[in-house]
Chains A and B, each alone.
Chain A
Amino acid sequence: MRAFTQHQGIVAPMDRSNVDTDMIIPKQFLKSIKRTGFGPNLFDELRYLDEGKPDQDCSERPLNPDFVLNQDRYKGASVLLARSNFGCGSSREHAPWALDDFGFRVIIAPSFADIFYNNCFKNGLLPIVLPEEVVDQLFREAEKNEGYQLTVDLQAKTVTTPSGESFSFDVDDFRRHCLLNGLDDIGVTLEDADLIRDYEEKRRQTAPWLFNAGN
């Protein structure tokens, strides 16, 4: 996995709560058997005025001028500023894949849905929870100042504004460790292969029905 230590980038404010994973990447694009190439269809139904189809050249499609990511001032944004319960709905990892493929590295919101939050870490994408009033302030600043950028430091667990104001955030130690070092967490788990085998052996004795292959 790609490591994440520090990042500075343009902030795109998406002022809408309960953004669901169907919105992030609609189902017709989940038919791909790859992990890449979802970027052009990120937020497809909000971003374009027509109905998106898989394997289509999106450069010719009519854009929705009102959608935040279509506005020139947010071009090249890599920090998504969002509202509460971002990423609710399905477990599709295609949602973080699409955000990553588009170029986002950080998502900041007052709260995230559990499965989406977890999926981000598996893909080198950093979801950051900040208090509602801080997110409100960042929205105001991002909308007011063209080219507004934030600096994120995972080592120090801080988000810093252009004026130097700094906010700290919480993140699980294990997730942070994996992200900072770009670790493959399957490899980390397999270091405990003996423990897993011991557990399994014990369960085979005490709960043999769990190992029944059916008939």
Chain B
Amino acid sequence: MAGKTLYDKLWDDHLVKQRDDGSALIYIDRQLLHEVTSPQAFEGLRLAGRKPWRIDANIATPDHNVPTTDRDKGIDGIVDPVSRTQVETLDKNCDEFGILEFKIKDQRQGIVHVIGPEQGATLPGMSIVCGDSHTSTHGAFGCLAHGIGTSEVEHVLATQCLVQKKMKNMLVKVNGKLGPGVTGKDVVLAIIGKIGTAGGTGYAIEFGGEAIRGLSMEGRMTICNMSIEAGARVGMVAVDDTTIDYVKGRPFAPKGETWDKAVDYWRTLHSDDDAVFDKVVELDGSAIMPQVSWGTSPEMVTGVDGAVPDPAREEDPIKREGIVRALKYMGLQPNQKITDIQLDRVFIGSCTNSRIEDLREAAAVVKGRKVSPSLKQAMVVPGSGLVKAQAEQEGLDKIFIEAGLEWRDPGCSMCLAMNADKLGQGEHCASTSNRNFEGRQGFGGRTHLVSPGMAAAAAVTGHFVDVRELMH
């Protein structure tokens, strides 16, 4: 019999019941809650007269709607009354059911996918869900983690289980070493560019190979975060010393004898040598260069030395039509060089790239330089209150402010523009976020997805430039 993949092991460990019809009940160890996708779930519970199954499996925080200025005002700082109601509703629901919540003024508040790992509430081998598609982030810890809809949030609250059907296994192997200035973000954009936005549909992806093993936990989180942009709900990396060292000492991590026992188990969380994958994709990590998206889907991406494609050269009529539509929306010309794209704003933040290493990477580039006068705005939004505090302790805030970037309070911010941070119509933005869909960062806004270093390089030059040319 063939060995098991990491996904097979995680599935088996969480299987409560295999039903005859092919569906299965899977136990959920951790649910993360935020204000946008939970209110209707709590309402559903109340209407059905149900209680949460296991209160301590849930952790909540407001992130999507929170303003990134005037945090000391708390909820009163939310100008939009509809946004305020949503955040107040989360507080009310968590208070009523006794769910642990890091409220808006708590230093532990932040983007759900940043705070889970930061608190050690994300532990290797867990099954983790959240009403947010970027829950795949937690797979970096060898977790079975994926986004769910609101009905499933309610299902997990009520039963601690999900009805699932097993996915297929895919291995994405990134061989070789990454060059300097090339990050997890560039790797995942290159993967999406290769397999497409539906390439991972129906699969749980395991990311492996020398380049992945060489990444820090934060780099791995960036890669797993964007699995969903390749169509895969689940993205994972096997547990190794890097994983275990990261988890150690965090508030929710086990201690003493339990720690030792947990580590013994965690070390089994990798695919067996003879495991069989339904699909294997290989990339040469040493050939990946800094990436920039030019279109309105994350698969519309190229190296910084590249150019916008010419639809006339695309043979597939549906793809050609997609390129024509994207170029029109983005205001770009066929064959235009990526480095000739002029920018209006720069956003460094989001659950993809708002952790301390991302901020260090950006600060290293802007240090001693100034934001280009051609830009309207360049902002840095740390992923959590604790990331913010750490960055300030290291003096990164001063580097950003001196260079002319705005230093904000934590939240999802301009990644999806549910709060006040958004693009104006027609504006081009170098963004470290995860989606370049039409209107994502604001009505008519034009998003280019890049790494934090590339966003910082764009901030000081006003257009895209290969970050490696600016590295000290």
B416 & A27 in contact (Cβ 8 Å cutoff): yes
CB distance from B78 to the nearest CB of A (A): 11
Which residue from A16, A114, A193, A212 sits with its C-beta under 8 Å from B231? Answer: A114
In the assembled complex, the Cα of A91 lies from the Cα of B137 at a distance in Å of 14
Q: Can you add 18 more A-B contacts, CB < 8 Å, to A93-B150, A186-B159?
A: A16-B325, A20-B435, A22-B435, A31-B418, A35-B150, A91-B149, A96-B149, A114-B202, A115-B147, A172-B165, A173-B22, A173-B23, A190-B159, A195-B16, A207-B262, A209-B258, A214-B252, A215-B252
B443 & A45 in contact (Cβ 8 Å cutoff): yes
Contact with A along B83-100 (1 / 0, CB 8 A): 101100100000000001
What are the residues of chain B within 8 A of A14 when measuring CB–CB?
none
Which of A61-69, A140-148, A158-166, A196-204 touches B?
A196-204
* A89-B435, A122-B149 as given contacts; A114 in contact with B297, CB under 8 Å: no
B16 & A45 in contact (Cβ 8 Å cutoff): no
Q: How many residues of A contact B (CB 8 A)?
A: 65
Q: B148 in the interface, Cβ–Cβ < 8 Å?
A: yes
In the assembled complex, the Cα of A122 lies from the Cα of B44 at a distance in Å of 13
Q: B161 in the interface, Cβ–Cβ < 8 Å?
A: yes
A 10-45 contacts with B by CB, 8 A:
16-18, 20, 22-23, 26-28, 30-35, 45
In the assembled complex, the Cα of A83 lies from the Cα of B317 at a distance in Å of 13
What are the residues of chain A within 8 A of B21 when measuring CB–CB?
172-174, 177
A22 & B439 in contact (Cβ 8 Å cutoff): yes
Contact with A along B116-130 (1 / 0, CB 8 A): 000111010110000
A88 & B27 in contact (Cβ 8 Å cutoff): no
Q: A149 in the interface, Cβ–Cβ < 8 Å?
A: no
Q: A151 in the interface, Cβ–Cβ < 8 Å?
A: no
* A84-B198, A115-B233, A210-B126 as given contacts; A26 in contact with B439, CB under 8 Å: yes
Interface residues of A (CB under 8 A from B): 16-18, 20, 22-23, 26-28, 30-35, 45, 51-52, 54-55, 83-85, 88-93, 96, 111, 113-115, 118-119, 122-123, 172-175, 177, 184-186, 188-190, 192-193, 195-196, 199-200, 203, 207-215
In the assembled complex, the Cα of A2 lies from the Cα of B27 at a distance in Å of 27
In the assembled complex, the Cα of A45 lies from the Cα of B417 at a distance in Å of 15
Residue pairs across A and B with Cβ atoms less than 8 A apart, 13 shown, are: A18-B297, A27-B417, A51-B443, A91-B131, A118-B152, A123-B151, A186-B159, A189-B163, A196-B159, A200-B27, A209-B259, A214-B100, A214-B120
Q: B438 in the interface, Cβ–Cβ < 8 Å?
A: yes
A85 & B198 in contact (Cβ 8 Å cutoff): yes
Which residue from A17, A175, A210 sits with its C-beta under 8 Å from B123? Answer: A210
A186 & B48 in contact (Cβ 8 Å cutoff): yes
In the assembled complex, the Cα of A207 lies from the Cα of B259 at a distance in Å of 10
CB distance from B386 to the nearest CB of A (A): 14
A115 & B160 in contact (Cβ 8 Å cutoff): no
Count chain A CB atoms within 10 A of each CB in B123, B125, B159 and give the residue with the most.
B159
Q: How many residues of B contact A (CB 8 A)?
A: 85
In the assembled complex, the Cα of A185 lies from the Cα of B159 at a distance in Å of 10
A215 & B37 in contact (Cβ 8 Å cutoff): no
Count chain A CB atoms within 10 A of each CB in B29, B253, B443 and give the residue with the most.
B443
A172 & B23 in contact (Cβ 8 Å cutoff): yes
CB distance from A9 to the nearest CB of B (A): 24
B 140-162 contacts with A by CB, 8 A:
146-152, 154-155, 158-161
B 173-208 contacts with A by CB, 8 A:
197-198, 201-202
In the assembled complex, the Cα of A144 lies from the Cα of B337 at a distance in Å of 41
In the assembled complex, the Cα of A190 lies from the Cα of B157 at a distance in Å of 12
A215 & B251 in contact (Cβ 8 Å cutoff): yes
Q: B335 in the interface, Cβ–Cβ < 8 Å?
A: no
What are the residues of chain B within 8 A of A89 when measuring CB–CB?
133, 228, 435, 437
A55 & B82 in contact (Cβ 8 Å cutoff): yes
Q: B409 in the interface, Cβ–Cβ < 8 Å?
A: no
What are the residues of chain A within 8 A of B253 when measuring CB–CB?
209
A174 & B19 in contact (Cβ 8 Å cutoff): yes
What are the residues of chain B within 8 A of A199 when measuring CB–CB?
16, 27
CB distance from A120 to the nearest CB of B (A): 9
* A20-B437, A172-B21, A190-B159 as given contacts; A85 in contact with B149, CB under 8 Å: no
B231 & A33 in contact (Cβ 8 Å cutoff): no
* A195-B17, A211-B56, A214-B251 as given contacts; A186 in contact with B50, CB under 8 Å: yes
What residue of chain B has the Cβ atom nearest to residue A50's Cβ?
Answer: B443
In the assembled complex, the Cα of A16 lies from the Cα of B435 at a distance in Å of 18
CB distance from A36 to the nearest CB of B (A): 10
Which residue from B82, B85, B161, B318 sits with its C-beta under 8 Å from A83? Answer: B318
Q: B344 in the interface, Cβ–Cβ < 8 Å?
A: no
What are the residues of chain A within 8 A of B410 when measuring CB–CB?
none
A-B pairs, 6 with minimum CB distance: A122-B151, A209-B254, A93-B149, A119-B149, A33-B39, A91-B147
